[in-house]
Amino acid sequence: MKKLLILSGKGGTGKTTIAGAFAKLMNAKYIVDCDVEAPNLDLLFADIPMQKEKPYYSLPVARIDPETCIGCGKCQETCRFEAISAIDGKYQVDMRACEGCKACTLVCPVNAISMETYIGGTIYRSLSEPTVISAKLKPGTGSSGLLVTEVKKLLEPLQNENEYAVIDGPPGIGCPVIASLKNVDFALIVTEPSLSGLSDLKRVITMARQFKAPMAIIINKHDLHEGITKQIEVFAVSEHIPLIGKIPYDEKAILMLNRGMTIDQTTSEMSFVIKELLRKTVELMD
């Protein structure tokens, strides 16, 4: 199986739009959404029924037994994350603020505090082909990188050297992006002609290089600022990273996405460009 990961240093560059178009044009057997905090790739595959595959258990957090707690307050004094508060003389933990450091368990004189796991999200999988895998992290839950790892584990028993997996990665450079980059064959980085787009492009490339995966760059909506587009082109040359193409801004694409369609399903210039970008991507992967 060849794993194509589509990344962006920031949100809103069109990463998911391109991932959806590539997946349909390639007839990809496996389609994975690793943006577990805000998944939406499945919206472009609404005709494929999804089911809950399994719950995701987050890292353990502290829980105070109100019957055992004597209200001494030592746990609150020790907590550096301000996750413990008192109500009617009894102390309780805010799971969204707890970092699971266990410091409170060490200072409690009556052993009223235990570490417990809880369901922090859900992993989903399609009921029919192609295999679509997604996940949703509960708001305020940490360890999104671990959830991405669990999502990608579902690909391991599906290995087929003649098939492609299109992976829609999360934006940014945090833990979920790091987890997404592990064991992929190619990273396609989508950027936009803005100062933040160029800055975040540089950051995500610096991180991606640590994983030694081949990569290339696409500039989306390149005609919105030709000056910064030129800066991105110069940067790509200086870093010896292939810039395989530029996608023009097209209002038709917005209308198609609002209808649940992918941008390859049009006769506009954008459709031609997307198909050419896919051809170059596959050529680089092979």
Q: Domain boundaries in the chain?
A: 2-57+121-285, 61-116
3-state helix, strand, coil split of the chain in percent (to 5) is 35, 25, 35
Q: pLDDT class for 268, splitting at 50, 70, 90?
A: low
pLDDT > 70? residue 119: yes
H-helix or E-strand containing 51?
Answer: strand 50-57
Q: pLDDT class for 272, splitting at 50, 70, 90?
A: confident
**Phi–psi pair at 104, nearest 5 degrees:** -65, -35
Q: pLDDT class for 252, splitting at 50, 70, 90?
A: confident
Selection from 50-59, 101-110, 243-252 with the highest mean pLDDT: 101-110
Pairing of β 243-247 and β 215-220? parallel
Provide mean pLDDT across the span 30-49. Answer: 91
**pLDDT reported for residue 265:** 72
Peptide bond into 130 cis (omega under 30): yes
Report which of residues 86 and 262 the model is more confident about: 86
Rounded Cα distance between 125 and 154, Å, is: 9
Least confident of 119-123, 157-161, 265-269: 265-269
CATH class of the domain comprising 61-116:
alpha beta
Q: Give the domain 2-57+121-285 fold.
A: Rossmann fold (3.40.50)
Do 61-116 and 2-57+121-285 fall under one CATH topology? Answer: no
Q: Are 165 and 2 in contact (CB under 8 A)?
A: yes
H-helix or E-strand containing 15?
Answer: helix 15-26
